[in-house]
């Protein structure tokens, strides 16, 4: 499983609960279209965490890079209904940082013959 991460803050004046509802609609659209496997939204607690990343952390799970590319292709098509869902989320966030991680160790990894 690959995990696409986004750390961000909400723009001033954006309500946290209303934002989470919009994000849920967007993410569930992607899940329903089988473009992501699952997702999770977390929020910094008690101010603990580096200030260099946002207060919110979104994790989107995909089977592999092919599924992630299919999700990007779908969203970048800029067609309804995904365009409105994406805009409803993207327009409300600031200071976004992204990362891509994978489960480790890889399932396909063979052990015992490594040379480094």
| 72 located within any domain | yes
| 15 located within any domain | yes
Q: Is the pLDDT of residue 109 over 90?
A: no
Contacts of 116 (CB under 8 A, 6+ apart): none
Q: Which two tokens stand for residue 44?
A: 């910094």
Number of domain units in the chain: 1
Q: Is the pLDDT of residue 108 over 90?
A: no
Contacts of 103 (CB under 8 A, 6+ apart): 1, 2, 3
| 45 located within any domain | yes
| 111 located within any domain | no
Mean pLDDT on 74-99: 97
| 108 located within any domain | no
The whole-model pTM stands at: 0.90
Confidence grade of residue 92 (pLDDT, cut at 50, 70, 90): very high
Q: How many whole angstroms from its chain centre is CA 54?
A: 13
Mean pLDDT on 68-96: 97
Confidence grade of residue 106 (pLDDT, cut at 50, 70, 90): confident
- Whichever domain contains 17, its CATH number is 3.30.70.100
Look up the domain containing 75 and give its range.
2-49+63-102
DSSP string, 50-116: -TTS-SEEEEEEESSHHHHHHHHHHHHT--TTHHHHHHHHHTTEEEEEEEEEE-SS-TT---S----
């Amino acid at each position: 499983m690959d995990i696409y991460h986004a750390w961000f803050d909400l723009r001033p004046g954006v309500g946290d609960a209303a934002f989470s509802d919009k994000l849920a609609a967007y993410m569930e659209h992607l899940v329903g279209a089988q473009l992501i496997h699952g997702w999770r939204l977390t929020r910094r607690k008690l101010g603990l965490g580096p200030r260099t990343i946002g207060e919110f952390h979104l994790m989107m799970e995909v089977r592999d890079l092919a599924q992630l590319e299919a999700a990007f292709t779908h969203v970048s098509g800029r067609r309804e209904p995904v365009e409105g869902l994406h805009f409803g989320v993207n327009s409300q966030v600031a200071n976004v940082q992204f990362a891509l991680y994978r489960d480790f160790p890889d399932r396909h990894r063979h052990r015992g013959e490594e040379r480094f």
